Amino acid sequence: MEGFRPGLVIIALAMLLSACGNGSGPTMPPLTMDPSYTMRPPDQQSSRSQGRQPGVAARAVLKQFLHGLGTADPAVCTLVTAAYAKSAFGATACRTWITGKHLSAADRTALRGVQVPTGTAAGPARFTVAGSQLAWPAAAPAPHGPLRARYTLRKIAGHWRVAV
């Protein structure tokens, strides 16, 4: 870059900056805080989901569980409590039951499309969803195995789990 002179750039920049605030133009008053506005820390009980429908996280876990049943994904076994697994799958291990042929093709298709639009909070760490509250894309599967007429979700160690 021939002809580039850093000294001239610095002088030009200094002249531009010195022209600002020379007192010859309109000035703004100093910024002050409005006394009617106070900064308070948020309440400890408030959360980001306070204004949304109750149980957003719990319903998301139930939806993930049901969709996982529909896709025969054994990873959904991590979303259930040990008591639920024993109740739902009996003596068969959760992973074995899910990957087996226990659900019909129609049931699996319905499970892949189910939505969990609402539920009922039963305290800060418990949430229930009736089977009638689920939005099925087709006919709802008959309750058997892990498919229930009512689902209970419990918050255990900070995570929602499908429970008995």
pLDDT over threshold 70, residue 17:
no
Q: Which residues lie across from 126 on neighbouring strands? A: 154
Alpha-carbon distance 23 to 45, whole Å? 50
Query: Is residue 89 classed as helix, strand or coil in its secondary structure?
Result: helix
Q: What is the pTM of this model?
A: 0.68
pLDDT digits (tens, 9 = 90+) for 99-110: 998 999 999 999
What is the band of 51 on the pLDDT scale with cuts at 50, 70, 90?
very low
The percentage of residues in the chain with a pLDDT greater than 70, rounded to a whole number, is: 72
Q: Which two tokens stand for residue 96?
A: 């074995």
**111/9: higher pLDDT:** 111
Lowest mean pLDDT among 52-61, 105-114, 125-134, 143-152: 52-61
**CB-based contacts of 68: which residues, under 8 Å, 6+ apart?**
75, 76, 79, 98
Report the C-alpha gap between 81 and 61 in whole angstroms.
Answer: 13
Predicted local distance difference test score (pLDDT) of residue 26: 64
pLDDT at 36 over 90: no
Q: What is the pLDDT of residues 60-105, one digit of tens each?
A: 999 999 999 999 999 999 999 999 999 999 999 999 999 998 999 9
User: Which residue type is seen at 87?
Assistant: S
